Amino acid sequence: MPEVQSSKTSMPDWEAGVIELFVRGANLVGLPRSVGEIYGCLFCAKTPLSFDRLEIRLQISRGSISQGLKVLRQLGAVKVQYVAGSRKDHYIAELSILQLVQGFVRDQLVPHLDSGSVRLKEVETLIQNEPDASIRAHAKQRLRTLLSWQGRGQKLLPLVMTVLGGNKLLDSDQGSANRII
Amino acid sequence: MPEVQSSKTSMPDWEAGVIELFVRGANLVGLPRSVGEIYGCLFCAKTPLSFDRLEIRLQISRGSISQGLKVLRQLGAVKVQYVAGSRKDHYIAELSILQLVQGFVRDQLVPHLDSGSVRLKEVETLIQNEPDASIRAHAKQRLRTLLSWQGRGQKLLPLVMTVLGGNKLLDSDQGSANRII
DNA sequence: TAGTTTGTTCAAGAATTATTGAAAATTCAA
DNA sequence: TTGAATTTTCAATAATTCTTGAACAAACTA
């Protein structure tokens, strides 16, 4: 007897492999498996896929598809594409890594960093209330460390975007002008 | 009646605030709350803290402390420090952002990327089995996209490390030699 | 408008992950 | 050794997060 896993609408092995990669990737950035599956499926597809094609290919519930697509649209990881002669929405995967990372940074990272930034200012105030002067001095020192971390992060982000982006420049090394920005 | 939350071993507000920041940070990188709490507590401490001091300050179970410290030691985010006249281990927080990120990259990121890399090679093989030549060509195109993403990532990592690291170079802009590496 | 197709929402259940604490292991001192 | 102090392990429980699918809403068509 050969393989197991052969439901009606089975899927090429290479596609299952790619989807698995995206499931892991989703997991790595804190998104649910279903989101990875949907993106992976669209990534592999040769043509735009409709809602119900996704449901059939992936064998997951309508609810998951709907929510997953919502997240992916929001991130800019999928786009709706009009398909002539069909009332249904059809989706395609965004293939630009820059777009994908930008969406993630905008929706997941920046809000966290911003609220962290607010909290850090509050901590700064709270430290004033520390009665023990020696502990207060120590706390201020730690605060400086946190602020320096914040500064590093803020330097880093645009740099990352630049490297992921256009990228005519910076081929490897050699040439004298490995400038950034 | 003033505040609630005043158990015997209460904690300065600024420290609670800093710990909250680290709990969020832990969450962001996929680590449990308890790990963030422990690191945050050590980060704020003026002197090395023993196992049971952590237990008392944070009011979490021995099991969580033990496992949390294990993770943090493994990441290189805390160090054991010998304290004269005590049998207990004492811990201090690693304050170098470079060390912290390196630990994270080494323990969490690289293993994922490596196994992804292996999987990607397998996918490359599986694509050969695709019978339909036109789909096979399409699959190869997608594979190239994935490989290019991988390449970008590999370029990026050392760059990030450099920016987080030593950093005499690259003050802001201005000077003509904003070289990296 | 009535009926059909398409997509969303959300409460309940399933699955996963984190925490607890008692028991076991380890380490040191006498 | 024996016993006390310290830490780890791990099975049970708690908490959180994900998925499902039925009911609902929206949009079209005839």
Contacts of B14 in chain A (CB under 8 A): 123, 126-127, 129-130, 139
CA distance to partner chain A, nearest, from residue B57 (Å): 16
Please give the pLDDT value at position B10: 82
**Do both A85 and A102 map to the same domain?**
no
**Do both A104 and A153 map to the same domain?**
yes
Record the tokens describing residue B41, joined without a space: 């507590």
- Residue B179 inside a domain? The answer is no
Can you tell me the distance from the alpha carbon of B122 to that of B110, in angstroms, rounded to the nearest whole number? 18
- Residue B180 inside a domain? The answer is no
Q: Identify from A10, A14, A49 which residue to disrupt to test chain B contact, counting B C-beta atoms within 10 A and taking the largest count.
A: A14
- Residue A132 inside a domain? The answer is yes
Record the tokens describing residue B38, joined without a space: 């422990």
**pLDDT of B9 over the 50 cut:** yes
Please give the pLDDT value at position A166: 64
Please give the pLDDT value at position B78: 98
**Do both A30 and A68 map to the same domain?**
yes
Last residue in a domain, options A93, A112, A140 = A93
Record the tokens describing residue B94, joined without a space: 């690693």
Please give the pLDDT value at position B165: 85
Q: How many structural domains are present in chain A?
A: 2
Please give the pLDDT value at position A9: 63
Cβ atoms of B14 and A139 within 8 Å: the answer is yes
Residue A164 sits at the chain B interface (C-beta within 8 Å): yes
Torsion sign over Cα A61, A67, A70, A75 = negative
Cα A57–A58–A62 angle (5° rounding)? 105
**Do both A46 and A30 map to the same domain?**
yes
Q: Which residues bind near strand D, taking a CB cut-off of 7 Å?
A: A 30-35, 60-64, 66-68, 87; B 50-52, 62-63, 65-67, 69-70, 86-89
Please give the pLDDT value at position B174: 40
Give the domain range for residue B60: 13-93
**Do both A73 and A25 map to the same domain?**
yes
**Do both B66 and B111 map to the same domain?**
no
- Of chain B residues 29-58, which have a CB less than 8 A from chain A? 30, 43-44, 46
**What average pLDDT does range B62-70 have in this prediction?**
98
Mean residue pLDDT across chain A: 89
Last residue in a domain, options A69, A93, A117 = A93
Q: Identify from B3, B10, B11, B18 which residue to disrupt to test chain A contact, counting A C-beta atoms within 10 A and taking the largest count.
A: B18
**pLDDT of B168 over the 90 cut:** no
**pLDDT of B74 over the 60 cut:** yes
Show which positions of strand D are touched by protein (CB under 7 A).
5-11, 17-23, 28-29
- Residue A8 inside a domain? The answer is no
- Residue B176 inside a domain? The answer is no
Please give the pLDDT value at position B56: 96
**pLDDT of B175 over the 90 cut:** no
pLDDT digits (tens, 9 = 90+) for B13-32: 999 999 999 999 999 999 99
Instruction: Identify the helix (H) or strand (E) that includes residue A90.
Output: strand A90-93
**Do both B18 and B87 map to the same domain?**
yes
Please give the pLDDT value at position B93: 98
- Residue A173 inside a domain? The answer is no
Q: What number of residues does chain A have?
A: 181
Q: CA–CA distance from A68 to each of A76, A78, B104, B143 (Å)?
A: 12, 10, 28, 24
* Residue-level pLDDT, tens digit, chain A, 181 residues: 333 333 456 899 999 999 999 999 999 999 999 999 999 999 999 999 999 999 999 999 999 999 999 999 999 999 999 999 888 999 999 999 999 999 999 999 999 999 999 999 999 999 999 999 999 999 999 999 999 999 999 999 999 999 998 655 444 444 333 343 3
CB count in 10 Å sphere of residue A38: 31
**Do both A120 and A157 map to the same domain?**
yes
**Do both B101 and B74 map to the same domain?**
no
- Residue A62 inside a domain? The answer is yes
For residue B41, the SS3 value is helix
**Do both A18 and A88 map to the same domain?**
yes
**Do both B69 and B123 map to the same domain?**
no
Q: Return contacts of B22-27, CB within 8 angstroms, 24+ apart.
A: B24/A112, B24/A115, B24/A116, B24/A119, B25/A116
Please give the pLDDT value at position B139: 98
CATH of the domain at B81: 1.10.10.10
Last residue in a domain, options B93, B119, B154 = B93
**Do both A123 and A60 map to the same domain?**
no
- Residue B114 inside a domain? The answer is yes
Residue A17 sits at the chain B interface (C-beta within 8 Å): yes
Query: Is 0.85 surpassed by the pTM of this model?
Result: yes
CA distance to partner chain B, nearest, from residue A67 (Å): 21
Give chain A's radius of gyration (CA, Å).
23
Q: Which residue has the higher pLDDT, B173 or B131?
A: B131
